Structure 1
Amino acid sequence: MIDDFTRKEIEKISHNILKESKSFDIFPTPVDKILSYSDFALDNKIDLQNIDDSFFDSFKEKLVDPSKKALMHALSKIKGFFYREEKTIYIDAELDKNLGKKNFVKLHEIGHGVLSWQNEVILALDNDETLSEEYDEQFEAEANYFASLTLFQHDRFLEECEKLSLGLGAVMEISKKFGASVHSSFRNYVLQSKNKCALLVLNHPVNKNGFVNTLTTRDLFYSKKFLEEFGELQLPDEFGFKWSFVQDFKFKKKFHENGVISLNTKEGEDLKASYHFFNNTYNSFVFFFPKGEKNRAKTKIILK
């Protein structure tokens, strides 16, 4: 957890960098411009899955276990890392296939570099676990908070949300505007929303015959107003075929905004809700909100 004082310090640093680099209100968020202002070099040509042995030598002494085996184990899993002595950020070349994730990883590594109290971190190795915005190790959580704030330009994100109708279609448009991943955009949308809404993120389990009919919970997020009105939902960790959004997944629906569902709260109340569904091949996203909940859109979205 990040305490309130540290959170405010990160907000000040992020705001100053966006302002001084003249990145506020530039869309998509100009991450490379921010990187240049921060005075770090970037190396994004490395295939971290197939690194030449000689690359390891200069990093061995930076690990608690300086063996080549330990370093290879660490590097085989990471998406990016920051090396303070060379003021260099390394990004896995494979992230070229996912611009939103690549932008977040860059800003996460910049965070390690610009948060002055992290100066003791000489080598920061980051994988999918540490890059999760729910990861709670102190320095990684701080770098993730910096990355999210900066990518979504502080209050600019909520301002854009309020222009659009309630739903995943709006968030997909916002993710393009800021240059962010859909997953990160969905999460921030719900956590910052002034509406009553919740987001269920589902894993896609597989066996040797392909995808199975059971989806498992990866994340569950609630807006503040949802929790105030209903509390948490009573949901299982695994969802079988009786759930309509699992049927959406199994019948290969990519996206829709016309789901209707009955849910139970942990207080035992029945909630009649609408839901939107999106499958990005990696995860399925189910966006819940009570029937009748809506925004008055100021901008019309046309999905292509």
Structure 2
Amino acid sequence: MDQQTHDDIEKRVRRLIKEMGVREPPLNMADVVAHLEIDQSFYDINDPTFFDGLRHKMKLGAFKVKGVLQKVGMQALWLPQEDRIVLDAALPKPKHKWVTAHEIGHRLIPTHRHFLFGDTAETLDPEYHEMLEQEANYCASALTFMGKKFTIDALDTLPCWENIHSLQTRYETSATSTLRRYVEHSHNRPMLGIVSTPPWKNETEHKSRCRYFVPSRQFKLRFSKISSDEILPLIKDCVHRARGGPVGTGEFIIGDDWGKHTNS
């Protein structure tokens, strides 16, 4: 995502929050939907009437529409013609806030209006699709964490899991999204967030145990050669098996791009 797109998204989110008059978190997505006058409903992936209605808006048959949604793994969809957001009825409630914010992101970014409609529904280039999703995700994050408000709050804390969890509670967000936002939008120092399956779980649907590798800007500048393959074995030595909650603490040494070694 280029800087111009980044700045435009931030500007649109900032304007929206100002219009709503919200000064403190959490930001209620239902209030955002109401302010933007967007309709919101749920769909059943197995309900033929939903796809029969949708196929008239897309240049595809109902069967192909269902296939498109399943292929890209959509949990929600924004329908520009109706200005309506539809969520998968099977989606767990804790995920409603993020996926709604994501679809609002598609709505706020003007170039996304024809996403998944017309002849792009089947032929959308995978790289272009990924770019659209990245932009919508960035907008969702900026909206959920109220732009610079989260950064101001985060800078008043020391980087540790307890403070990240406290911010998660304050903003009513997931642990993963809060960790990512903290690493990328708080202290100007090398930080790395990793979300992975625990080492004692051998089976995983992901090719790698690492689901998200989130370096801060300073980390990327100083430790550009560090990868999850190098970090995960070091983390493994610091944790113990547990059903939930903290599983361990520890320190290890990693080398930066200039051969200097730092405790992590």
For normalisation by structure 1, the TM-score amounts to 0.70
> Who is 1:5 aligned against?
4
Normalized per residue, the structure richer in helix is 2
- Note if contact 1:81-1:91 (Cα within 8 Å) is conserved in structure 2: yes
Amino acid at match of 2:83: K
Instruction: Measure the CA separation in 2 of the matches of 1:72 and 1:272.
Output: 50
Amino acid at match of 1:36: A
Superposed displacement of residue 41, structure 1: 0.6
> Who is 1:260 aligned against?
251
Instruction: Specify the SS of the correspondent of 1:89.
Output: strand
- Number of residue pairs aligned between Structure 1 and Structure 2: 251
Superposed displacement of residue 85, structure 1: 1.6
- 1:150 equivalent among 143, 146, 171: 143
The superposition leaves residues 224-253 of structure 1 with CA deviations (integer Å, 9 ceiling, x where unpaired) of 23344x32353453877x644366264546
Instruction: Measure the CA separation in 1 of the matches of 2:240 and 2:27.
Output: 32
> Who is 1:43 aligned against?
41
Instruction: Measure the CA separation in 1 of the matches of 2:231 and 2:249.
Output: 20
Instruction: Measure the CA separation in 2 of the matches of 1:239 and 1:190.
Output: 16
Instruction: Measure the CA separation in 2 of the matches of 1:18 and 1:155.
Output: 11
Q: How do 1:1-304 residues align onto structure 2 when only pairs under 5 Å count?
A: 1=1, 3-25=2-24, 27-44=25-42, 46-48=43-45, 51-63=46-58, 66-76=60-70, 77-98=73-94, 101-121=95-115, 123=117, 137-194=130-187, 195-203=189-197, 216-228=209-221, 230-232=222-224, 234-235=226-227, 237=229, 243-245=234-236, 248=239, 250-252=241-243, 254-255=245-246, 258-265=249-256, 267-273=258-264
Amino acid at match of 1:19: K
Instruction: Specify the SS of the correspondent of 2:156.
Output: coil
Superposed displacement of residue 23, structure 1: 2.2
Amino acid at match of 1:262: I
- Note if contact 2:51-2:63 (Cα within 8 Å) is conserved in structure 1: no
Instruction: Measure the CA separation in 1 of the matches of 2:227 and 2:89.
Output: 38
Instruction: Measure the CA separation in 1 of the matches of 2:16 and 2:148.
Output: 15
Instruction: Measure the CA separation in 2 of the matches of 1:181 and 1:102.
Output: 11
Instruction: Specify the SS of the correspondent of 1:94.
Output: coil
* Identical positions, percent: 22
Amino acid at match of 1:94: A
Amino acid at match of 2:180: R
> Who is 1:292 aligned against?
none
Structure 1 gap segments, 5+ residues each: 125-134, 274-304
Instruction: Measure the CA separation in 2 of the matches of 1:256 and 1:164.
Output: 22
For normalisation by structure 2, the TM-score amounts to 0.79
- Note if contact 2:223-2:255 (Cα within 8 Å) is conserved in structure 1: no
Structure 2 gap segments, 5+ residues each: 119-127
Instruction: Measure the CA separation in 1 of the matches of 2:11 and 2:110.
Output: 12
Instruction: Specify the SS of the correspondent of 2:250.
Output: strand
Instruction: Measure the CA separation in 1 of the matches of 2:151 and 2:67.
Output: 40
Relative distance call for 1:38 and 1:236 in structure 2 (3 A) is closer
Instruction: Specify the SS of the correspondent of 2:78.
Output: strand
> Who is 2:121 aligned against?
none
Instruction: Measure the CA separation in 1 of the matches of 2:145 and 2:213.
Output: 21
Normalized per residue, the structure richer in strand is 1
Amino acid at match of 2:261: D
